[in-house]
Structure 1
């Protein structure tokens, strides 16, 4: 199946000049969403993954059902103050400022194999920070997987050294 057929392109959203890739038609179509998750799970099973991790909120959309399909745990990566146990954190630069992400300090045992999952690879800044955070917590990032990749933004450049997969690619 060509998953692009289920992604709506909304021009000038959320502001003029942006070509927004809307995943809601895809995730709203049960058989298509199941096929997507099954396809991603089949690829990741070959990598002997122990956990799926994903950043809030859209990483949860794909990460949780993927972990379920693979019968492994899901580890949330959250904004500060959202996790109840002791955390490790990382701050990273955004276009206009900084942001911080956290993960439970005890999320992984040293060497646990982790697939990091999110909806979209754009510039790579957030997901690069997520990968470093997983490594700080003791996990080994064996794959970084996306539903969509915006190839002209060269986000893969920030993920050099990692195995990166995307289900659908767009030029801007």
Structure 2
């Protein structure tokens, strides 16, 4: 597991999972939101975003979290493993509201510089409609991939069990003296 793509609805925990896997597997972590958003929530231009993602994909190992449908196919085709956090809408809505409160007037570690947490009606509706409007296209993309390990987690408990199993299967190396 050297190239991991993590996708799912906002609020599903993609960035948290990316950081957890990065620490566990000693792989570099890249958050697409941090690449896409410039200070003050200004989107980067598509060409720059695509080029930055290409630089990451050229590396031998990476974990990338984020959807960004316009560049998703390239990530999925190069990933060794794809993790889809496919949680219920209510869970994701709860988490984006909780996140908004937790990071009030602050920028999350997985976000672009000087992009303080916000929650507007458009984003709320995007999350609310994700399972209905975005998941069918994601499932179609995933069904077209061959020779890929695709893990779909429908609950945090399933994900926790996977992480526990992964951690227990990793060899313990003695610390250098």
Q: Which has the higher helix share?
A: 2
Higher relative contact order (CA 8 A, sep 6+): 2
Larger Rg: 2
Scaled by the length of structure 1, what TM-score is found? 0.33
